[in-house]
């Protein structure tokens, strides 16, 4: 019986969390060298990577050659504060029966009074180009990004682990965000103050492919044999995820996904404008400091745009009564099928009715602020550090808890070099993260690979981060 009740109190969780796309969390690292240092920062990024974090650094003094062409660079990430494997392993894989005190202690340590989040981010740069003159530089880039992120508080785990035997009131909050875009940006960088200061701007046209943002606040009240779920939610969606998933998904049929048709080629659902800004100042010839703002702007969504809110506000279960004639005639004396049908009827009445506003809406880009510094110790050795923080709560945003990173690069060789990179990242929605990277740099061609991972999800923070970046086609002339 408890399992059936839990199934129906989790109906809205399924609506909010199901998506055909990837799950998101923006990681705050931009480009392969920066990821190998677990962050890099706005004073470290250079060449075409500067287009996305600090356009002022298109005039980065270490650039080899005047022109740089990138064909194919990818980056992927998964992680978040929900990834706390010490608690997960102790709770779900330990094999022992947990007492109510054990569950409370675990959830206090895992969640406290906050929400925890997890997701996936993927990015591809099929084309980027920059050209540097003595006092100015220009750039052009095309980039595709997709994010999704799900979050929840302790309520769902409390309900699953402790069941409905104990009377209590459980806050149960859920959220989901998804954003898929393609942007085309141009950039300009100018040297001032005799070259000590460089400033840059990179406006971009943003084509929105898919968007969804949903949030539910609710309370589950357990009293003796009764259970009540009082809820309110708002979900906004556009593009394929709206027309295919939100409109076609039904919890009240044998195959809830039967009417769902989602195409990755559903077209442009929204258009918008954004801008990245940056400035870099040379304290000395070998020390740079920088600051930048990224993804300032918004998207106006029109295709399949809808805002969904519930007509009901409560699901209540006060026990079931048996109609023995129906049990025999309609369900062939199957008590399980009979009970499930009654629960489905109660759930349909509570959850199925929704109001749909089919007008368009706007959403913000995942704006963030970055600061950092770089010290060129020698021509081969470099140290860099920085910090990043989100400026809004749009899908794809960084954590509102600032993250800090520091790393080093050492270049083996001369004209043909093997750069080795490593670094540490702390703060944000994750524990201590370690980055590693290497590459091959020649006068005309570069290759690189970087990875970063959280060795243990409860060291100097809470949560896991796992990242990889690959660049196979960077050409210089």
- The model's pLDDT over 446-469, given as tens digits with 9 standing for 90+, comes to 999 999 999 999 899 889 999 999
* pLDDT tens digits, one per residue of 319-335: 656 666 776 777 776 76
Helix (H) or strand (E) holding 436: strand 433-441
Determine, yes or no, domain membership for 340. no
Tokens representing 250 are: 């039904």
Distance CA 4, CA 331 (A): 17
- Looking at the predicted structure, is the pLDDT value of residue 361 above 60? yes
Distance CA 127, CA 450 (A): 19
Within 10 angstroms of residue 311's Cβ, the number of other Cβ atoms is: 10
Distance CA 100, CA 158 (A): 10
**Owning domain of residue 411:** 2-312+353-476
Q: How confident is the model at residue 257 (pLDDT cuts 50, 70, 90)?
A: very low
Residue that has been written with the tokens 């800004």 in this structure: 277
* pLDDT tens digits, one per residue of 70-84: 998 999 999 888 999
Q: How confident is the model at residue 402 (pLDDT cuts 50, 70, 90)?
A: confident
Residue that has been written with the tokens 């009131």 in this structure: 169
Determine, yes or no, domain membership for 335. no
- Looking at the predicted structure, is the pLDDT value of residue 247 above 60? no
Distance CA 191, CA 193 (A): 7
Q: How confident is the model at residue 283 (pLDDT cuts 50, 70, 90)?
A: very high
Nearest alpha carbon to residue 62 among 215, 280, 233: 280
Determine, yes or no, domain membership for 348. no
Q: How confident is the model at residue 226 (pLDDT cuts 50, 70, 90)?
A: confident
pLDDT of residue 321: 62
3-class state of residue 272 by DSSP: strand
Q: What are phi and psi of 31, to 5 degrees?
A: 95, 160
The more confident residue out of 80 and 277 is: 277
Distance CA 427, CA 435 (A): 15
Distance CA 261, CA 246 (A): 10
Determine, yes or no, domain membership for 128. yes
Q: How confident is the model at residue 428 (pLDDT cuts 50, 70, 90)?
A: confident
Determine, yes or no, domain membership for 273. yes
Tokens representing 346 are: 């109660």
Against a cut of 0.85, is the pTM above it? no
Beta bridge partners of 180: 146, 210
Determine, yes or no, domain membership for 344. no
Distance CA 34, CA 315 (A): 49
Determine, yes or no, domain membership for 327. no
How confident is the model over 105-109, as a mean pLDDT? Answer: 86
| DSSP code at position 398 | P
> Could you tell me the CATH number of the domain that includes residue 115?
2.40.160
Beta strand ranges found along 391-429 (DSSP E)? 403-413, 417-427
Determine, yes or no, domain membership for 330. no
How confident is the model over 287-296, as a mean pLDDT? Answer: 96
283-293 as b/e, with b when 16 or more CB fall inside 10 Å? eeeeebbbbbb
Specify the number of domains making up the chain.
Answer: 1
The mean-pLDDT minimum among 142-151, 338-347, 434-443 falls in 338-347
Q: Are 366 and 295 in contact (CB under 8 A)?
A: yes
Q: How far is CA 259 from CA 119, 243, 248, 400, in A?
A: 26, 11, 5, 38
Q: How confident is the model at residue 244 (pLDDT cuts 50, 70, 90)?
A: low
Residue that has been written with the tokens 């005047």 in this structure: 66
Q: How confident is the model at residue 339 (pLDDT cuts 50, 70, 90)?
A: low
């Amino acid at each position: 019986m408890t399992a059936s009740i839990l199934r129906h109190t989790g109906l809205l969780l399924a609506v909010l969390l199901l998506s055909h796309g990837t799950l998101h969390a923006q990681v705050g690292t931009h480009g392969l060298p920066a990821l190998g240092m677990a962050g890099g920062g706005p004073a470290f990024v250079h060449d075409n990577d500067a287009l996305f974090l600090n356009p002022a650094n298109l005039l980065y003094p270490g650039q080899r050659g005047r022109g740089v062409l990138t064909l194919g660079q990818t980056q992927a990430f998964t992680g978040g504060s929900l990834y706390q494997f010490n608690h997960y392993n102790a709770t779900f894989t330990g094999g022992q029966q947990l007492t109510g005190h054990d569950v409370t202690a675990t959830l206090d340590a895992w969640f406290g009074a906050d929400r925890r989040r997890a997701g996936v981010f993927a990015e591809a740069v099929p084309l980027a180009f920059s050209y540097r003159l003595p006092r100015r530089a220009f750039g052009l880039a095309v980039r595709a990004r997709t994010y999704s992120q799900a979050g929840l508080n302790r309520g769902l785990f409390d309900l699953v682990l402790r069941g409905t035997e104990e009377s209590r009131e459980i806050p149960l909050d859920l959220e989901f965000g998804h954003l898929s875009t393609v942007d085309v940006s141009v950039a300009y960088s100018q040297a001032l103050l005799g070259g000590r200061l460089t400033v840059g701007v990179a406006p971009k046209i943003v084509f929105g492919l898919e968007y969804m943002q949903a949030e539910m606040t609710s309370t589950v009240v357990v009293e003796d044999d009764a259970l009540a779920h009082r809820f309110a939610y708002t979900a906004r969606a556009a593009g394929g995820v709206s027309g295919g998933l939100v409109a076609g998904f039904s919890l009240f049929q044998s195959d809830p996904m039967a009417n769902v048709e989602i195409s990755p080629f559903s077209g442009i659902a929204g258009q918008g404008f954004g801008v990245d800004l940056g400035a870099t100042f040379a304290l000395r010839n070998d020390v740079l400091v920088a600051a930048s703002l990224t993804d300032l702007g918004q998207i106006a969504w029109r295709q399949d745009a809808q805002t969904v809110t519930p007509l009901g506000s409560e699901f209540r279960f006060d026990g079931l009564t048996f109609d023995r004639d129906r049990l025999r005639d309609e369900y062939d004396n199957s008590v399980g099928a009979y009970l499930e049908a009654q629960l489905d009827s109660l759930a349909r009445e509570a959850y199925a009715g929704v109001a749909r506003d089919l007008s368009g809406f706007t959403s913000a880009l995942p704006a963030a602020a970055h600061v950092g510094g770089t010290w060129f110790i020698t021509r081969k050795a470099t140290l860099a550090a920085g910090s990043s923080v989100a400026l809004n709560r749009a899908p794809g945003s960084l954590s509102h808890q600032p993250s800090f990173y520091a790393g080093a690069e050492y270049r083996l060789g001369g004209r043909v070099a093997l750069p080795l990179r490593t670094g540490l990242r702390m703060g944000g929605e994750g524990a201590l993260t370690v980055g590693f990277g290497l590459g091959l740099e020649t006068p005309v061609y570069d290759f690189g690979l970087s990875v970063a991972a959280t060795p243990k999800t409860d060291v100097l923070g809470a949560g896991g981060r796992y990242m990889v970046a690959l660049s196979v086609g960077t050409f210089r002339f």
